[in-house]
């Protein structure tokens, strides 16, 4: 059990309480806000601590110069939205088919 400050009146209240006994402010609102802030911070990516292969720029470079590795890193590390990944994949497959069909003549 921990004591937290009520944002309404500033008195210390148990984190297990449903509302502040002094002013009646609902403590459950504080818990929900803290949980939302925690999940928002966990989605932030620190690019400095990432390996080079995990960075979005690396996927882009590999897509340009060595597309099989670029496709792999793009899908594994999910650098782009799923729609962008699908479009890029379809485009690369389309270009590959054009290349194969063009060499058959």
Query: Does residue 88 contact residue 98 with C-beta atoms inside 8 Å?
Result: no
Can you tell me the distance from the alpha carbon of 91 to that of 69, in angstroms, rounded to the nearest whole number? 16
pLDDT the model gives residue 33: 55
Residue numbers of the chain with a pLDDT score lower than 50: 39-43
Quickly count: other Cβ atoms within 10 Å of residue 29's Cβ: 11
What per-residue confidence (pLDDT) applies to 12? 86
């Amino acid at each position: 059990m921990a004591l937290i400050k009520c944002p309404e009146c500033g008195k210390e209240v148990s984190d297990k309480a449903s509302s502040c006994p002094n002013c009646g402010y609902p403590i459950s609102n504080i818990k929900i806000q803290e949980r939302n802030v925690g999940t928002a911070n966990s989605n932030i990516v620190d690019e400095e601590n990432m390996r080079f292969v995990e960075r979005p720029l690396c996927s882009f470079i590999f897509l340009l110069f060595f597309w099989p590795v670029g496709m792999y890193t793009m899908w594994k590390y999910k650098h782009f939205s799923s729609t962008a990944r699908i479009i890029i994949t379809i485009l690369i497959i389309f270009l590959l088919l054009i290349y194969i069909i063009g060499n058959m003549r």
